[in-house]
Amino acid sequence: MDKIEISGKHPGPPGTGLCGKLTIRGAKNAALPIQCAALLGQGTTRLRHLPRLTDVSTMNGLLRELGCSVAADMDARTVEIDPDQVGAGTLEAPYEQVKTMRASVTVMGPLLGRFGRARVSLPGGCAIGARPIDQHLKGLEALGAEVELAHGYVELRAKRLIGARFSFDKVTVGGTQNVMMAASLAKGHSLLENVAREPEVQELAVFLNKMGARISGAGTDAIEIEGVDALNGIDHAILPDRIEAGTFAIAAAITRGDVLLEHAPVDHMHAVIDKLVEAGVECRVEDGGLRVIGPERIRPIDVVTRPHPGFPTDMQAQIMVLAAMADGASVIRETIFENRFMHVPELNRLGADIVVNGNTAVIRGPTRFSGTTVMATDLRASASLVLAGLVADGQTEVRRVYHLDRGYEAIEARLRPLGAEITRYHGAGA
Ligand code: UD1
């Protein structure tokens, strides 16, 4: 297993931190459902600007297992997916696959919508919480699917789905995406209410409409879908990653740096940018990107994670590092996932003063981080440890780097040109 070593330092005067330009890559959470949606199209779909991430490769692997022909050229960041032979296959997302990557359940809607059948392993818990899929199943049932749970798998069947009105009990990104994809090929009109408004839901709707679907309202809390008989394979470029951009913005801010994040999707980042500005960080929309300049003094902030357009849970661990560097006490409340403070004990080992009570963390700054060996159990938690390592005195060794590789493309190779002393060691550490 790889490990990452960072030779950090407590920030000096403004302008002495990370400095330069960095290009934001395609969004993992936009890419994964769109890879699944390629199952719906007759003929080949060509995806461009894919990020080079293990999750993207894992999804390509699942699509191959389902019978797709998948030609990936990750040097060119493109993949061509032809699903026309899938109907003859098992139509199954097995346990090993879903366990490795929960987003595998997003093949359920397209398989059911186009091929009338799907068998998907139940995801079970993961490091950040229980994460059930009850809303996905209720939505698909509303469209007429027969749902059966047996032996840890969910089996879905339908001759042809029928458009319906369905209101989600809880706002869910993956649930909205699954039901929206299934309804695209249903007979008649669907109205989905209390849906997720995340940019990745909007992007999926744009993609499906390019394939020939008739979806309106994505980005609001109700989506209307006029079912069509068939969809076509298309060419599509994945939008840049708002969470990656937010993570690098915090790296610039805490090191007192000055970094231009090229192609940062600022329109999707308002909640994060607002918090950075509140903390005293200078954020300028410039040259088709976001320029972030770290301040001399970071002010404390209060953050509550919410569905989009609220503050994203996927930025909670990273903004906690910014809060730890602030002059005073900050409060962060996590309302999306019940167990998403796994980074706190590790940040405390690096010298932070964070106390968790239920879903609320109180962070007392300013912290003088001091390097040690750390590891995390999920992707964004791992990113927070890298951020803390950048401003920690001495060496920080981050283990279990495979979490980072799921969501950040070559994080060390991209931070190094900005002045970070960060190195990956292959096959080392636990
Ligand atoms: C997606 C993102 C993930 C992000 C999350 C919340 C992808 C691949 N992943 O995950 O990075 O952290 O949105 O923004 O896009 N829930 C239920 N029943 C369901 C479905 C969800 O109770 O049927 C709950 C979950 O346990 C969680 C909340 O709803 O508490 C939100 O989850 P959801 O939006 O579904 O997250 P994902 O789509 O899995």
Let me know whether 18 and 51 are in one domain.
no
Let me know whether 249 and 263 are in one domain.
yes
Predicted local distance difference test score (pLDDT) of residue 53: 96
Let me know whether 324 and 359 are in one domain.
yes
Strand locations in 287-325, DSSP E? 289-293, 302-304
Domain annotation covers residue 41? yes
Average pLDDT, integer, range 186-210? 98
Predicted local distance difference test score (pLDDT) of residue 218: 98
Average pLDDT, integer, range 9-24? 93
Predicted local distance difference test score (pLDDT) of residue 288: 83
Which of 127-131, 356-360, 380-384 has the least mean pLDDT? 127-131
Predicted local distance difference test score (pLDDT) of residue 124: 66
Check: CB of residue 243 under 8 Å from CB of residue 311.
Answer: no
pLDDT of 186 above 70 = yes
The model's pLDDT over 282-318, given as tens digits with 9 standing for 90+, comes to 999 998 899 999 999 999 999 999 999 999 999 999 9
Let me know whether 214 and 261 are in one domain.
no
pLDDT of 68 above 60 = yes
Let me know whether 207 and 281 are in one domain.
no
Let me know whether 46 and 139 are in one domain.
yes
Average pLDDT, integer, range 164-182? 98
- Total domains present in the chain: 2
Let me know whether 231 and 274 are in one domain.
no
- CA neighbor of 298 nearest in space, from 350, 253, 355, 244: 253
- At which residue do the structure tokens 């007192």 appear? 256
- 282 vs 8, 245, 316, CA distance in Å? 23, 15, 20
Let me know whether 120 and 208 are in one domain.
yes
Predicted local distance difference test score (pLDDT) of residue 339: 84
pLDDT of 125 above 80 = no
Q: How far is the CA of 337 from the centre of ligand 1 (A)?
A: 8
Atom of ligand 1 lying closest to residue 33 CA: 8
Domain annotation covers residue 373? yes
Whether 173 is in the pocket of ligand 1, judged by its Cβ within 6 Å, is yes
Domain end (from 237, 261, 295):
237
Tell me if residue 52 falls in helix, strand or coil.
Answer: coil
pLDDT band at 87 (very low <50, low <70, confident <90, very high): confident
Let me know whether 231 and 380 are in one domain.
no
Whether 169 is in the pocket of ligand 1, judged by its Cβ within 6 Å, is no
The single-letter code of the amino acid at 10 is H
Predicted local distance difference test score (pLDDT) of residue 129: 64
Distance (Å, whole) CA 263 – CA 268: 12
pLDDT of 421 above 70 = yes
Predicted local distance difference test score (pLDDT) of residue 15: 82
Domain end (from 174, 202, 237):
237
Cis peptide before 366 (omega within 30 of 0): yes
Domain annotation covers residue 223? yes
202-208: long-range contacts, CB 8 A cutoff, minimum separation 24: 203/27, 203/30, 203/34, 203/238, 203/239, 204/30, 204/33, 204/34, 204/37, 204/177, 204/180, 205/180, 207/34, 207/37, 207/234, 207/236, 208/37, 208/40, 208/180, 208/181, 208/184
Residue from 100, 131, 311, 338 to probe ligand 1 pocket by mutation (most atoms less than 8 Å from CB) = 131
Domain annotation covers residue 430? no
Let me know whether 7 and 75 are in one domain.
no
Domain annotation covers residue 65? yes
What is the residue range of 150's domain?
A: 28-237
Catalytic residues: 126
Let me know whether 188 and 106 are in one domain.
yes
Percent of the chain scoring above 90 in pLDDT? 90
Residue from 172, 203, 335 to probe ligand 1 pocket by mutation (most atoms less than 8 Å from CB) = 172
Predicted local distance difference test score (pLDDT) of residue 80: 98
Beta strand 165-167 with 153-157 is unpaired
Domain annotation covers residue 328? yes
Q: Is the dihedral of CA 95, 97, 102, 108 positive or negative?
A: negative
Give CA 201 to chain center in angstroms: 12
Q: For 76, which DSSP code?
A: T
Predicted local distance difference test score (pLDDT) of residue 336: 96
Check: CB of residue 232 under 8 Å from CB of residue 212.
Answer: yes
pLDDT of 376 above 90 = no
Distance (Å, whole) CA 374 – CA 410: 19
Whether 143 is in the pocket of ligand 1, judged by its Cβ within 6 Å, is no
Predicted local distance difference test score (pLDDT) of residue 386: 98
Beta strand 302-304 with 69-73 is unpaired
Give CA 283 to chain center in angstroms: 22
Whether 133 is in the pocket of ligand 1, judged by its Cβ within 6 Å, is yes
pLDDT band at 175 (very low <50, low <70, confident <90, very high): very high
Average pLDDT, integer, range 125-151? 88
Domain annotation covers residue 304? yes
Domain end (from 184, 204, 237):
237
Let me know whether 267 and 215 are in one domain.
no
- 18 vs 214, 231, 247, 327, CA distance in Å? 45, 46, 13, 21
- CATH number of the domain to which 151 belongs: 3.65.10.10
pLDDT of 430 above 60 = no
The model's pLDDT over 159-170, given as tens digits with 9 standing for 90+, comes to 999 999 999 999
Whether 124 is in the pocket of ligand 1, judged by its Cβ within 6 Å, is no
Q: Is 254 left (phi over 0), alpha (psi -120 to 50) or beta?
A: alpha
| The model scores a pTM over 0.85 | yes
pLDDT of 338 above 90 = no
Predicted local distance difference test score (pLDDT) of residue 123: 84
Task: For ligand 1, atom 3, name the residue with the nearest CA.
Answer: 314
